[in-house]
Each structure stands twice: as C-alpha cells, then as structure tokens.
Structure 1
Amino acid sequence: MKRIGLLSDTHGYWDERYLKYFEECDEIWHAGDIGAKDVMDRLMEFKPFRGVYGNIDGQDIRKILPETNIFTIEGAEVIMKHIGGYPGKYDPSIRNLLKVSTPNLFISGHSHILKVKYDKDLGILHINPGAAGKYGFHTVRTLIRFDIDNCKFSNLEVIELKD
C-alpha cells in the first residue's frame, strides 16, 4: 500500500502546511504549474516525488519533469498530465492516449477546480486536486491524500488550506 499526497498549481507559492499534511504520505505527486524550481526541490527533498510540468513552468522544471508521466504503482497504471480535461471533456492532447492505454487513474491540473470523477466509459478514475497556490480565481486552496493498494484507491481526503 502507498499513501499519496497530490497537489497542483502552486504557481511558485510555498506553504509549510504541504509538509504537515504530506508527512504521512509515501510519495508526493504534483500535477503541474509548479511555478518555481525551489518549490519542486523542497517537495523532492521531503518525499519521493513524481510530477509533470505545466504551461507556466520554465525550462528549469521542464528539463527535469515530463509533460506526460506514465507509471505503475501498486498495480495501478497512472497517467498524469497538467492540461488534461476531465471525463467527457478530455483535452485533445490526451484523449487518444487515454483510450488506447486505459489507465486506472488519470491525474490532471490546470483548471484550479477540484474534481474527482469516475469515467464509466473508459473505466478510469480521474482526479484534479484543484490549486494549492494563491494565484488564480479559486477561493479555497486544496490538497488531496489517498491510498493505492493492489490497484484499488481508497481513503481519499480533500484538505482545504484556509488562510
């Protein structure tokens, strides 16, 4: 079993509570628009890290992270991409890959809108953790924690970071 801490759209903003809420996690995943390499470095120093670059990320981050991250963890096939849409409205840049690869979990960011939705047509759980940074139209900053065990997802928690 792995406990995952998931965030997106930090836009260069650091909050010490990331470490507090991800202390019990085995890995931290960032779904793009990190915004500053030092934010990524701090997360990487804290826990094993996986991520993708987003549309605002510079070459310093793009040299380290892929645009699309495809991996297997605890028997689950995962695809992560910053701009990805959601079930029924996937971005054209990822739609065909999702249909061909049919992962168990698709993670995206970009919209700043927290959304967890199961795609019945493709059999994919989709998670967008919302935005953990302060830049954007969102009014509540959010993080997600969840467990993966033998290709099963459980104990999903939404954490609201109120200022």
Structure 2
Amino acid sequence: MSTRIGLISDTHGLLRPEALAYLQGSDFIVHGGDIGSPQILEELGRIAPVTAVRGNNDREGWALQVPETEFLQVGELFIYALHDLALLDIDPAAAGVRVVVTGHSHKPLVQEREGVIYVNPGSAGPRRFTLPISAGELIVDGPRIEAHIAQLVQ
C-alpha cells in the first residue's frame, strides 16, 4: 500500500482552492515555508498531519513556533524540509535522508543527486513573475519513491 505525501510551499497567506483539492487524499503534508498565516497550517491540518518549516517571510509571532528545519519519518523514509536549499545544513545522504523538500525560489524542481531526491513544489500562493502556480507529491511504496509536480492554475 502506497503513502501519498502532499508538498506545498510559498503560500504567502493564500491557500488556493486548487491547492486544497490537489492535496486531498494525502496521508501527510509538508509545507516548505513562507506560509503567511497560521490559518494555512490549520486548513492543511484538516486534510492530513502537517510538517512545516518557517520561511524567510514568516516573521510574525505565530511563526516563531515553526522550526526552520524539520525531519519527517514515514516508514523507513526520512524527509528533511527547509525553506531555502542554499541553507542546507546537513549532508542528506550521510544522514540517511532520501528526500529534501524546499521552497523559496518559487521554481518547481525534482532532481536526484547522490541518491537523494530534491523537491521544490514551487509556489502555490500569489503568482510571482511568470512562474507557475504549483504543488507536488511524493508517492512512497516501500523503498520506491516517485516525486511529481502539478501545475494548479494556468
């Protein structure tokens, strides 16, 4: 039986209905930062347990409770989340991490390096320049992991 982990980032206070619809059916959700308001996490929490990290724009008092980095273990899988990949402070492969989830750039990315899958689901919040509005998912089936990005709005 596979596990679906919904990935979202850079909502900046806007949780689009398309993002909520896309994340339905997730077993877990990881938010890669720049959340924008605690209500975003509350709404996501109605879908599935949320692991969230604080982004560089999450400066209000509520955000101080949100860690800058976070580990999520799903079965044998270790996921490491942080907002800005440039601030990666661990060697994921050496730490046993299979997936690193980030945000910040608003640019969707799925890339595997040295056995580690790096996923940036892009931005699900307000449009920035001509970048897509997107979210992502991990499908975990035992040792097999698939990462996908979905464009939410044309």
Alpha-carbon distance in 2 for matches of 1:18, 1:26: 15
Q: Is the 8 A contact 1:4 1:29 kept in 2?
A: yes
Q: What secondary structure sits across from 1:46 in the alignment? A: coil
Alpha-carbon distance in 1 for matches of 2:103, 2:70: 13
Structure 2 counterpart of 1:158:
149
Structure 2 counterpart of 1:69:
70
Q: What secondary structure sits across from 1:47 in the alignment? A: coil
Instruction: List gaps (5 residues or longer) in structure 2.
Output: none
- CA 100–125 in structure 1, closer or farther in 2 if over 3 Å, else same: same
Alpha-carbon distance in 2 for matches of 1:23, 1:100: 33
Q: Residue by residue, what CA displacement relative to the aligned partner does 1:23-45 show, whole Å, maximum 9, x if unpaired?
A: 12111111000011111111112
Q: What secondary structure sits across from 2:131 in the alignment? A: coil
Alpha-carbon distance in 1 for matches of 2:128, 2:122: 11
- Paired residue type of 1:119: R
- Per the TM alignment, residue 151 of structure 1 is displaced from its structure 2 partner at its CA by 3.2
Structure 2 counterpart of 1:87:
none
Structure 1 counterpart of 2:14:
13
RMSD: 1.8
Of 100, 124, 136, 1:144 maps to: 136
- CA 151–59 in structure 1, closer or farther in 2 if over 3 Å, else same: farther
Q: What secondary structure sits across from 1:130 in the alignment? A: coil
Q: Is the 8 A contact 1:104 1:151 kept in 2?
A: no
Report whether the alignment pairs 1:108 with 2:105. Answer: no
The alignment of Structure 1 onto Structure 2 pairs a total of residues equal to 152
Q: Residue by residue, what CA displacement relative to the aligned partner does 1:116-154 show, whole Å, maximum 9, x if unpaired?
A: 00012xx21110111111153343200112211223212
Structure 2 counterpart of 1:88:
none
Structure 1 counterpart of 2:62:
60
Alpha-carbon distance in 1 for matches of 2:92, 2:46: 31
Report whether the alignment pairs 1:128 with 2:129. Answer: no
- CA 116–4 in structure 1, closer or farther in 2 if over 3 Å, else same: same
Instruction: List gaps (5 residues or longer) in structure 1.
Output: 85-90
Alpha-carbon distance in 1 for matches of 2:143, 2:78: 8
- CA 5–96 in structure 1, closer or farther in 2 if over 3 Å, else same: closer
Aligned residues with identical type, % of pairs: 28
The two structures have a TM-score, normalised by structure 2, of 0.88
- Paired residue type of 1:129: P
